[in-house]
Structure 1
Amino acid sequence: MAGPLPEGNPMPADGSLPVGVNIGAEQRTMSAYVHVPFCRVRCGYCDFNTYTATELRGTSQSTYIDELAREIELSGQVLARSELPVRALTSVFFGGGTPTLLPAEDLVRALELLRTQHAFAPGVEITTEANPDTITDDYVQKLAEAGFTRLSLGMQSAVPSVLATLDRTHNPASVAHAVSLAQQAGLEVSIDLIYGTPGETLEQWQESVEAAISLGTGHISAYALIVEDGTALERRIRRGELPVPDDDLEADMYELAEKLLSAAGFQWYEVSNWARSPDQRSVHNLTYWQGNDWWGYGPGAHSHIGGVRFWNVKHPAAYAQRLADGHSPAAGWEQPDLTAVALENVLLGSRIREGISTAELDNTAVASLIADGLIDGTSAINKRLVLTLAGRLRADEVVRRLTFS
């Protein structure tokens, strides 16, 4: 399960936000994230806020949408009290956990509640994550008819032994079947991959990337495995049952992914994300990287409104109880100071293809990064800081050198 929640200020029982979150709201888009914290089994590497059936203690999947309905209504009240302008949602993302463990009718109902409360912008992107084994023709047809536009499939790998190390239970063949069903229903599809699994070879990683490309989707994400403390995977590595992931091999895997994806017509738009065309980029991903506003619904979900961050209690039972009592499920909030905001703008903005303005950056640090081949010199002449391939591999170093120079 995910680590502890951040420390912060206690959230008022009615969920009211600090004064000033409405300032500049017209220049920011608004999105919604819906967390569905249910999984059949917990993957060994997973540190997300998820629960299997035996861990729910006092709540159940069958009542979850009723609880979400209360938070959706509450969010409308809170935003109105904060004098925020009415902004139609530009993206909605159902994540988890495994949202598609719920009946399709539950996801559709949650979507309709959001549509009623917030309205949807023209061309709104509506995505749900899915385990390939949970997808049926009837399921995706119901999603498409309700307005879902996109399916994000957790493929992770095409190699059975790698999936076994990750404790993934799906059959690799089911990925192609799920993609086909989703595309026939008119949905865009994104494929998620993980590289750097203990014992995974460069050849196995190439097999997975090529298999993902062959599926004909418009979007592929590739994330380096992070071994989180307290996970089953971390314990196996600590006991010597699995090797420690190799940083140099992970760098080789990233470079190989870039080579294969670029040759197949994909273009990177964020360090871990590639799309065949600009209109196949994930609008919701960019919401986070560009610092726009979003409300996160569900246990442990985080929100960001007007520079204020707040987060819900983690356990589904505690979440349900607070809402049943007429209280906000938020456990706390914080408002970073200007220095922290500036650091975060560099951290997030530098990861996307468009980069960030160099106007307020240290010229000596920028020149040094150009000399080291970590940022693009031509873009820097045009006052934009854009990472090179080497810079993407060392993105954290780039941020440190820009912010601590």
Structure 2
Amino acid sequence: MNTSGRPLSPSGERPFGIYVHVPFCSVRCGYCDFNTYTADELGEGATRATYADTAIAEIERAHAAMGDRQVDTVFFGGGTPTQLPADDLVRVLRAIDDRFGLTSGAEVTTEANPDSVDPRALATLRAGGFNRISFGVQSAVPHVLATLDRTHRPERVPEAVQWAREAGFAQLSVDLIYGTPGESLDDWRASLEHALALQPDHVSAYALIVEDGTAFARQVRRGEVEMPDEDETADKYLLADDLLTEAGFGWYELSNWARDETARCQHNGLYWNSDDWFGIGPGAHSHVAGERWWNVKHPVAYAQRLAAGESPRMDGEFIDADTAQVERVMLQTRLRSGHPVTELSESARNKLPALVGRDLITLTDDRLVLTLTGRLLADAVVRELT
């Protein structure tokens, strides 16, 4: 029985997606804490040449464990999925379709760097069933790209976007990062204007976060780089919202704007609404029917387990009702659609008038929705409600 309030997928169940993690990058960016590796870091045992076959082996195990269930969304992330040959990405997608079956009109996304694609690769991906592409642009300013260790030139981005359009991609997204050390407000404006000139369907804009264990964190700790203060970061978010809104985009999640509802990322909606997804690849996480689990992290260990006919799963947990409730508040409060007031605890509902009075939320159709001020202070609002 569907009790989530979310629309059922065409297969009659909760929406279901598959995430495919591709852990390869040409360069490991200093700010990145994702499970990614350069070829030199991995060596033998987990190569780009063998990765598609390894991922397909896990897809076969996933189907054996779950049985028939149609897939509404597929998302290839990383890393840089387009570090793999386009034919290999298509083979992995075909394996998902062969074992599970894609619903009619399923959203199929790959992330890509502007310098990791060419017209032939994009045409192969589109012909093979990919219909959405998300380019990691991050910035249009050379000195900001250099600080972020990004390898592409700003002038390559329009070329890659044009190739994707010519290949027939129905949806095109651009990812940006703001708050890089040394980035001025004018630099950020230039990046936003550059992105809008590409006429994308979707824009994601994320504040740079210094994660423990990254090269950036070590540089900050040694005083080699200085992160911007909170007021400057807030100004950049406000500028993004102003320019994107003026260009006809609407926010639908704190860091995501789309031209219309059809351009919203359906796959990310699975995460935000606690729907079901299966993660393929080293370190990939899954969430199905109230259980969450994750794979071994290192690509070599992942490949070795599958080659031996073993599960790559490392650990997992069942999510109790209290934890699920807290997670729903944390995630759905970030959405423009908001969170149902009736699903809040009594103590949280008692705090709503004060949050309204501080212009942090509005109450619309029995749902709490963040105001623009509330979006800047979303973490504080969530703490009040949980």
TM range (shorter): over 0.9
Counterparts of 1:270 and 1:87, CA distance in 2: 28
Output one character per residue of 1:202-237: Cα deviation in whole Å (capped at 9) or x when no partner: 111111111101100110000010101121111122
Counterparts of 1:309 and 1:246, CA distance in 2: 36
* Equivalent position to 2:41, from 55, 63, 69: 55
Q: Give the secondary-structure state (helix, strand or coil) at the position aligned to 1:172.
A: coil
Report the more deviating stretch, 49-58 or 190-199.
Answer: 49-58
For the pair 1:139 / 2:121, whether they are aligned, the reply is: yes
Q: How much does 1:360 deviate?
A: 3.1
**Contact 1:37 1:51 (C-alpha < 8 Å) held by counterparts:** yes
* Equivalent position to 1:117, from 89, 95, 99: 99
Counterparts of 1:358 and 1:87, CA distance in 2: 32
Counterparts of 2:155 and 2:257, CA distance in 1: 23
For the pair 1:239 / 2:239, whether they are aligned, the reply is: no
For the pair 1:201 / 2:188, whether they are aligned, the reply is: no
* Equivalent position to 1:225, from 204, 208, 226: 208
* Equivalent position to 1:40, from 26, 31, 35: 26
For the pair 1:214 / 2:206, whether they are aligned, the reply is: no
Count of aligned pairs between the two proteins: 372
For the pair 1:337 / 2:320, whether they are aligned, the reply is: yes
**Contact 1:29 1:87 (C-alpha < 8 Å) held by counterparts:** no
More relative contact order, 1 or 2 (CA 8 Å, 6+ apart): 1
Counterparts of 1:360 and 1:304, CA distance in 2: 21
Counterparts of 1:248 and 1:301, CA distance in 2: 35
Counterparts of 1:360 and 1:174, CA distance in 2: 47
The answer for the alignment partner of 1:20 in structure 2 is none
For the pair 1:369 / 2:351, whether they are aligned, the reply is: no
Output one character per residue of 1:62-88: Cα deviation in whole Å (capped at 9) or x when no partner: 0111111110000011113xxxxx331
| Aligned CA-pair RMSD | 1.2
* Equivalent position to 1:283, from 253, 262, 266: 266
The answer for the alignment partner of 1:310 in structure 2 is 293
Counterparts of 2:269 and 2:333, CA distance in 1: 12
Counterparts of 2:180 and 2:337, CA distance in 1: 30
The answer for the alignment partner of 2:5 in structure 1 is none
The answer for the alignment partner of 1:74 in structure 2 is 61
The answer for the alignment partner of 2:141 in structure 1 is 159
Counterparts of 1:393 and 1:182, CA distance in 2: 34
2:361 counterpart letter in structure 1: I
Unaligned 5+ runs, structure 1: 1-23, 81-85
* Equivalent position to 1:300, from 261, 283, 286: 283
Q: How much does 1:27 deviate?
A: 4.4
Q: How much does 1:341 deviate?
A: 0.7
Identity fraction in percent? 54
Output one character per residue of 1:313-367: Cα deviation in whole Å (capped at 9) or x when no partner: 0111100111111111010011122111100000011111111110132332111
Change (3 A) 1:293 1:195: same
For the pair 1:273 / 2:256, whether they are aligned, the reply is: yes
TM-score, length of structure 1 as denominator length:
0.90
**Contact 2:73 2:107 (C-alpha < 8 Å) held by counterparts:** yes
Counterparts of 1:59 and 1:208, CA distance in 2: 36
Q: Give the secondary-structure state (helix, strand or coil) at the position aligned to 2:34.
A: coil
**Contact 1:49 1:300 (C-alpha < 8 Å) held by counterparts:** yes
Counterparts of 1:198 and 1:326, CA distance in 2: 46
Where has structure 1 moved over 3 Å in runs of 4 or more? 24-27
* Equivalent position to 2:174, from 184, 188, 191: 191
Unaligned 5+ runs, structure 2: 1-7
* Equivalent position to 2:240, from 254, 257, 262: 257
* Equivalent position to 2:51, from 43, 56, 64: 64
The answer for the alignment partner of 1:98 in structure 2 is 80
Counterparts of 1:87 and 1:357, CA distance in 2: 29
TM-score, length of structure 2 as denominator length:
0.94
